């Protein structure tokens, strides 16, 4: 494979895994995915076509989820959980990630989202915060969990105890 094709293949592979390359001469430097453009000198042909490619999935940048509010609550059966669950999505450098879809799941029988659903989603705002829909305690007394996750990269659990 000639050097031009190797560079183009490397740039395409890097985009597929969320790494962005900046080509300068004969070197390529990887940077975090929040930089969304690939640049290359005009004489690289195939790589130039990749210059307009962008990383569009904000969830791919999420490395950490932090509980902000709603953990360790007590709620009587049949009542709505008093504080909605809130978290913050952060990237590798601890910067907030906007636009990431967070999945909130209630694996046990004790908690339900609106319409009796076990799962709900929320999208992080400009500061990386996501707020789950209201929860209702329906099960028998005891601890229950709500697991929040973004892709397979980050997850956090909230404990809610039905009393």
Q: Are 95 and 110 in contact (CB under 8 A)?
A: no
Q: 60-162 has which CATH code?
A: 2.60.40.10
| Separation CA 25–CA 136 (nearest Å) | 59
Quick one: pLDDT at residue 58?
81
User: In the chain, what are the domain boundaries?
Assistant: 3-56, 60-162
User: Which has more pLDDT, 67 or 58?
Assistant: 67
Quick one: pLDDT at residue 163?
93
Q: What is the pTM of this model?
A: 0.66
- Convert the pLDDT of each residue in 12-28 to its tens digit: 444 333 433 333 333 33
CA nearest neighbour of 81 among 109, 111, 105: 111
- Convert the pLDDT of each residue in 116-134 to its tens digit: 999 999 999 999 999 999 9
> pLDDT-based confidence at 56, cuts 50/70/90?
low
């Amino acid at each position: 494979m000639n050097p031009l094709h190797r560079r183009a293949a490397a740039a395409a592979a890097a985009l597929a895994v969320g790494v962005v390359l900046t080509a300068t001469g004969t070197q390529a430097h990887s940077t975090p995915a929040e930089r969304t453009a690939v640049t290359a000198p005009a004489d690289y042909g195939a790589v130039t076509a990749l210059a307009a490619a962008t990383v569009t999935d904000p969830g791919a940048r999420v490395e950490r989820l932090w509980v902000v509010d709603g953990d360790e609550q007590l709620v009587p059966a049949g009542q709505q959980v008093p504080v909605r669950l809130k978290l913050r999505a952060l990237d590798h450098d601890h910067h907030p990630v906007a636009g990431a879809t967070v999945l909130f799941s209630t694996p046990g029988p004790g908690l339900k989202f609106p319409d009796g659903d076990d799962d709900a989603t929320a999208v992080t705002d400009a500061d990386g915060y996501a707020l789950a829909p209201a929860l209702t305690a329906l099960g028998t007394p005891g601890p229950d969990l709500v697991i929040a996750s973004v892709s397979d990269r980050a997850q956090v659990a909230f404990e809610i105890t039905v009393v």
